[in-house]
Amino acid sequence: MYDQNPRFDHLIHWVEDLDAAMVAYDALGLPARAALTMPGFRNAAWGVDDARYVELAAVEDWRAVADSKYAEGLALLRPAVEALDGEGPLTFAVDVHDAREVAARLRSAGRQVREVEVRFEEKDAGFVEVLLEDAPPSFPFFISYDPPRDVIAQMRAERREAARAEAGDTGGAPAAGSEEMGPDLAALLVRSHDPEGGARILGELLSLPVLGSTVELPGAEVRFEAGGPAGLFGIAVRGAGLGAEPREVAGLQVVPEE
């Protein structure tokens, strides 16, 4: 998938109380903002930069969700949500040029995949997700946007720059990890009984380099660590002023990194 330019897009952090989780993120210096509300479902996001984010997601009524645009995708994630038995990191998305083409390649390789499309006709925009049904929840799903993620990121940057100019600020665009943009997401953390083996399998899936037990995913490398239970358990963050010790928020371990 080298030609698909795989990049980290977002992590889904499943929470039971969205408002409390947002307060906890803010207390760690990771500002979370409300994003979407629809029947039975709400989410918020810590926007790392214009292209990457951590999504805080909560279903308050599964029956109500069945009538929403997100119904199919949430139904596919529900077994993983129930396996959490509470809250914590669920899975993550890898942005690719063409998720449907990725799905076709995976099927031709014998993998079981599901495609989900969500459209917002009023905005002439949407996305396609491809989920692997024969992989553990800690493995990613693929996503491609219309318009593409780079275009969306540029639109966000331009809106921010316009707001800065209107306020009389003529400085350059802030970078992730800078004091102005805020902390940067350095890595996703995964526990495994075979860290190097897990990294190798994920690296092969994404066609990305692997260094020991680390998959070099642009935007947020994926680090496998020995231990259990197996699966996603945390994130490494730069520039948040967290101190030296890991912190926990709603089942997610936040590890400070210089």
Residue 17 lies in a domain: yes
Report the pLDDT averaged over residues 143-170.
88
Identify the domain containing residue 68 by its residue range: 2-152+176-257
Name the H helices within 48-194.
Answer: 62-65, 71-84, 99-108, 149-166
Q: Counting every residue, how long is the chain? A: 258
pLDDT for the residue numbered 181 = 62
Residue 160 lies in a domain: no
- Please list, in sequence order, all residues whose beta carbon lies within 8 angstroms of the beta carbon of residue 35, skipping any fewer than 6 positions away: 43, 44, 45, 55
* Number of structural domains found in the chain: 1
Owner of token pair 């102005």: 180
Residue 171 lies in a domain: no
Task: Look at residue 137 and tell me whether its pLDDT is greater than 80.
Answer: no
147: preceding bond cis by omega (within 30 degrees) = yes
Residue 167 lies in a domain: no
Contact 96, 115 (CB under 8 A): no
Average pLDDT, the chain: 92
Residue 69 lies in a domain: yes
pTM for the predicted model, two decimal places: 0.93
Task: Look at residue 172 and tell me whether its pLDDT is greater than 70.
Answer: no
- The enclosing domain of 125 has a CATH number of 3.10.180.10
Sign of CA dihedral 148, 154, 160, 163: negative
Give percent of the chain above pLDDT 90: 81
In the chain, the amino acid numbered 237 is: V
What confidence tens digit (pLDDT) does each residue in 180-233 have?
Answer: 568 999 999 999 999 999 999 999 999 999 999 999 999 999 999 999 899 999
Residue 182 lies in a domain: yes
